[in-house]
Amino acid sequence: MSQSPNTSPKLPWKCRFLMNYVAYLVDMCRRPDFTVNRRLYKLFDFKSSPSKTPINGVTTSDIMVDASRNLWFRLFTPENGSGSDVSLPVIVYFHGGGFSFLSADSFPLDRLCKRFARELHAVIVSVNYRLAPEHRFPCQQEDGIDVLNFIDTTNIEGFPACANFKHCFIAGDSAGGSLAHQVTLGAIQNNFQKVKIIGLLAIQPLLGGEERTESEIRLHKSTLMPMERTDWMWKAFLPEGSNRDHPAANVFGPNAIDISGLNFPATVVIVGGLDTLQDWQKRYYEGLKKSGKEAYKIEYPNAVHSFYGHPELPESSMLIEELADLVEDTPLVSLFEDMAIYSKLGCGRGRCRREKDDGDEEADPP
């Protein structure tokens, strides 16, 4: 698939304004010594309260896991999942924010997870993991695994009866997509009783390495993910003294953890053609395949980083359609049957280019 030379996407003014606002806010609050001005950031981190009354068809509640480290999750339940005769998939979700910003109750994340719950017809567990640099890796991985253990072993008051724990996905966007991999890596070595992880959804995962890739250089003026900003994020997140070839950043790099013998679940990697990180995301997909794992890649050539958070963008709606097919709790349908490997603007569900096992590509019939 040829790479579009476009580096300056045409975006609606609202999207462009919000992306520039987020970038300015992050840069204003991150310090040269790799710490965050939390007091300043809290002034702009607008929160959404949980609501037992449905908002846009979704109820929300906050459930504490460990108060000593403020580990909790926000539960999103769609109205159509209120009956005990309904069975809905469970998505354990890790938010983005460069490992150092946002939380499960931040307004944009609350809005995104409401949309996922409503349109994917799924129960969403949005994990409020500890942030860097106050808490460096592997704290976030430990938080995610502890939430899974809590769900697996605890009779949680308020958890909907419709939740099908045997149809559970780990998912995340950006930094959360990276954490989703790390949490899955730890979780598959646990013997869960209720929870069965059947898939990993990595939405534009924040990955990296010491090498500078072609997309990082070509798109170095990206609004949200220029190299200078991602370098800062890795410095704040990784253990002291580590470089970007740490396995939490460069998953299949020189210090990689061998997953070939592990029961790693089928993984979908979402890639944007105008995302600085796209080369690392493609290497992640290729690394999974080389390790003998079931992996799929959906690529939106005109998508910038965080496109999924802007419902007005056509690629955002296309992604929702793809994910809705994937997470559908229908036992008669294989999870990744007829999986579309590439998506592109103007090519709707069932009409996307597909990648065959031998590496050739073919187009679906109209």
Active-site annotation holder among 146, 275, 279, 325: 275
110: nearest Cα among 25, 26, 44, 47? 47
User: Whole-angstrom Cα distance, residue 245 to residue 243?
Assistant: 5
Place of tokens 């073919």: 362
Phi-psi region of 275 (alpha: psi -120 to 50; beta: other; left: phi over 0): beta
Active-site annotation holder among 121, 167, 246, 305: 305
- What separation in angstroms does the CA of 56 have from each of 116, 118, 154, 302, 321? 11, 8, 29, 29, 18
* In 188-313, alpha helices (H): 214-218, 227-237, 278-290
CB-CB contact of 226 with 276 (8 Å)? yes
Catalytic, 258? Answer: no
Active-site annotation holder among 106, 174, 178, 316: 174
- What separation in angstroms does the CA of 272 have from each of 19, 62, 316, 325, 361? 15, 32, 11, 20, 19
Catalytic, 305? Answer: yes
Catalytic, 48? Answer: no
CB-CB contact of 123 with 40 (8 Å)? no
Catalytic residue numbers read 174, 275, 305
